[in-house]
Structure 1
Amino acid sequence: MHNDWLNYHHLLYFYTVVKEGSITRACDVLHLTQPTISGQLRKLEKALGAKLYRRVGRELVLTDVGRMVFRYAEEIFSIGRELMETVRERPGGRPVRLRVGIPDVLPKLIAFRLLEPALNTSDPVQIICREGSLEQLLAQLAIHELDVVFSDSPIGSVASIRGFNHSLGQCGLGLFGTKQLCQKHQGDLPQSMLGAPFLLPAPHTAMRRSMDQWIHECELQPRIVGELDDTALAKVFAEAGVGFVPAPLAIQKEIEKQFGLQLLLEVPNATEHFYAITVERRLRHPAVVAISEAAKASLFGDD
């Protein structure tokens, strides 16, 4: 740049011209005359020291520099809109609404631990939870019916909608069972688990893929007594002694206390990743920011 300061009005005029497809249509949007906009575009080119476009007939064709400047402008004005929306949404004494999508396969204890910091923010928060498949929840996120979706899989592996993965952290995976079941299969692990009863998540989940890989490597040939999307229901079955259930080690204490289960072993090389998926490149909802910070500092901070 020839100047140290960028005139953002000039950048806005350029951005609008590109978005609208012509200077004429940009004039209608900006309520400015064509000579005014053309003059401002020339000033922007002079400030940047580069041509941004060339005319081909009635069309404006961006140069390589023009395309780069437009990408920057798109992000700059997107952040500006997010800033305005965030400030406008700050309530005067009214609870901030947080609309959260919780996939069926996400452990409910993890969901609670993630959401808990949102209840301790300086502003009151009203949490609205919606459950369903990850695909259903991402569809709701895309049309702004949800603010955030928690997941153990990044959006890129399950959907083609526009969204951003914000990593919350990761932890190991453990195998839990009743005291009696653990005693029965203790010994030379994991060989002592040959034919042991397992309660596994559905095949399409990240946790199931980790378990399948470990089972295959150990050649365990377990007896799969149940495949359950609902992880809370799986733990109820495990509490009754039906089989072993895998769960994130981040909630080991809660599982042992709430369901009376014991940790038999930590699954080698198995890591559970957790994400907050939003339509924004940067987290801006105050409750989601609090959730992200707390997850990284305490829930998954030791892993």
Structure 2
Amino acid sequence: MAGLSINKIDCILTDQLLQLGSHVRAYNHLLVESGFTFFATEALLKTSNKEFPQYLSGFPWLMLGKKSAVRMRLSSWLDKHNISPNIVAEFDDSALMKSFWQAGFCVFSSPTLIEKDFVDKYDFKIIGRAEEVKEQYYIIAIIEIVTGINKQ
């Protein structure tokens, strides 16, 4: 935000809204919104005979950290479906999380808009989707962007 306030940077791409009470007069612009996709390897899927989403309770999970913007929404969705994930690790660093899920021993989730990359590059299987769990990406800028982004 300091970089925005002194015009060192033009905008910030983030998954969180600008905090209320900020001393920088900036604007949130919703860029894109996506549901969530759940992934696992074929070998892990063979260990369950339940249907999605109930079998999510039986698998080990890699989960986003509690400070993640989407974590609360994902946790609410899991609670709604009476799913108690067996969380084996939590990550605030997506690069570190990536090295763990590449081993293929856990279920993980990601925004649906990038699911093709996981399937194509890493041979993970899509085990289900939750469109009601939304990941949102914003551009935060000092001036109102007039290029038509999310203009209604």
Residue pair 1:199, 1:224 contacting (<8 A) in 2 also: yes
Tell me the equivalent position of 2:25. Answer: 162
TM-score by length of 1: 0.45
1:261 aligns to 2:141 (yes or no) = no
Is residue 30–residue 137 contact of structure 2 (8 Å, CA) maintained in 1?
yes
Separation in 2 of the partners of 1:272 and 1:155? 15
The alpha carbon displacement at 1:182 in A equals 2.7
TM-score between both structures, scaled by the size of structure 2? 0.84
Give 1:219 deviation, angstroms.
2.3
Alignment partner for residue 231 of structure 1, among 94, 97, 102?
A: 94
Which shifted more, 171-180 or 138-147? 138-147
**Alpha-carbon offset, residue 186 of structure 1:** 5.5
Q: Alpha-carbon deviations, 1:235-284, whole Å to 9, x = none?
A: 3311202311110111111111222212111025111111111111225x
Where do 4+ consecutive residues of structure 1 move more than 4 Å?
Answer: none
Structure 1 residues 280 and 231: CA distance shift in structure 2, 3 A: same
Relative to its length, the structure with more helix (as a share) is 1
How far is 1:140 from its partner?
A: 2.9
AA aligned opposite 1:258: K
Q: Whole-Å Cα distance in 2 between the matches of residues 201 and 144 of structure 1?
A: 32
Query: Residues of 2 paired with 1:239 and 1:186: CA distance?
Result: 24
Tell me the C-alpha RMSD between the 2 structures.
Answer: 2.2
The answer (yes or no) to whether the contact 2:52–2:127 under 8 Å persists in 1 is no
1:214/1:268 contact within 8 Å kept: no
Q: 2:68 aligns with which of 205, 224, 227?
A: 205
Q: CA deviation at 1:222?
A: 1.4
Larger Rg computed on CA atoms = 1
Residue ranges of structure 1 left out of the alignment (5+ in a row): 1-137, 284-288, 297-303
SS in 1 for 2:19: helix
Q: Which has the higher contact order (CA 8 A, sep 6+)?
A: 2
The yes-or-no answer on 1:275 pairing with 2:138 is yes
Report the Cα distance in structure 1 between the residues aligned to 2:7 and 2:137, rounded to whole angstroms.
Answer: 21
Q: Which amino acid aligns with 2:95?
A: A
Matches within 5 A, 1:79-158: 138-156=1-19
Higher strand share goes to which structure?
2
**Which deviates more, 243-252 or 176-185?**
176-185
99, 113, 117: which one aligns with 1:250 = 113
